[in-house]
């Protein structure tokens, strides 16, 4: 089945690497999310939100483009959503990286800073599915100083370990989000994006 997705540019994300991954998978996409240049998503296509940089910067960019309320409305309305890196973190209420800055507040919880090891965590780390999810385990590529801590473990799709276990991905209803970079994780990561596409198509 042919599927087209909306690839959001407003979060200052790694649009190039994600678009190249989608090209390799044969997925059509429309750049979207900037009200002055590009159209907003209308909910007819799954949304991909890659985010790179700081939590506060990404939230401010979404707000400046008038996209915060619209994104929340679409996700809460059931539009399939894939968040990557900070595109996952902004789903939560807040982050220690940006005190006083509110996230989208769609998944209850907060984003915390690593307190041990080399920060940021850069490199390959193993992810393991939890909560009876049948997604594959394997090694994926991380670049992060912060990680999400959901209030409920029931939303956790993957856990990983960096001086202690942490939430590496979430899945709840129409939302899937990865803290790592699947688009930079070779066959394993591309397979995860394909799995998401299969689920939402």
What is the set of active-site residues? 85, 181, 183
Q: Which of 44, 66, 119, 58 is nearest to 91 (CA)?
A: 58
Q: What phi and psi, each to the nearest 5 degrees, are found at residue 177? A: -150, 140
- Count of all residues that appear for the chain in the document: 201
Q: For residue 50, give the DSSP letter.
A: E
Q: Is 117 exposed, middle or buried (0-12, 13-18, 19+ CB in 10 A)?
A: exposed
Considering only CA atoms, give the Rg of the chain.
15
Q: Report d(CA 33, CA 66) in Å as an integer.
A: 9
In contact, 102 and 59? CB cutoff 8 Å: yes
How many other CB atoms are found less than 10 A from the CB of residue 38?
Answer: 17
Cβ contact 108:102 at 8 Å: no
**Which residue do the tokens 């900037």 mark?**
34
Q: What's the CA angle centered on 23, arms 13 and 5, to 5 degrees?
A: 65
């Amino acid at each position: 089945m042919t599927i087209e997705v909306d690839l959001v540019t407003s979060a200052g994300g790694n649009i190039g690497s994600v678009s190249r991954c989608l090209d390799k998978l044969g997925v059509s996409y429309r750049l979207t999310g900037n009200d002055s240049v590009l159209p907003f998503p209308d909910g007819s296509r799954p949304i991909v939100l890659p985010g790179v940089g700081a939590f506060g910067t990404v939230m401010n960019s979404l707000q400046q483009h008038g996209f915060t309320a619209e994104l929340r409305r679409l996700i809460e309305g059931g539009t399939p959503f894939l968040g990557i890196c900070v595109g996952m973190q902004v789903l939560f209420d807040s982050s220690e990286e940006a005190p006083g800055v509110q996230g989208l507040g769609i998944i209850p919880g907060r984003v915390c800073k690593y307190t041990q090891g080399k920060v940021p965590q850069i490199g390959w780390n193993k992810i393991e599915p939890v909560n009876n999810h049948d997604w594959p385990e394997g090694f994926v590529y991380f670049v992060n100083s912060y990680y999400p801590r959901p209030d409920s473990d029931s939303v956790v799709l993957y856990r990983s370990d960096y001086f202690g276990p942490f939430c590496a991905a979430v899945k709840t209803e129409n939302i899937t989000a990865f803290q790592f970079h699947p688009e930079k994780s070779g066959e394993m990561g591309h397979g995860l994006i394909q799995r998401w596409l299969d689920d939402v198509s």
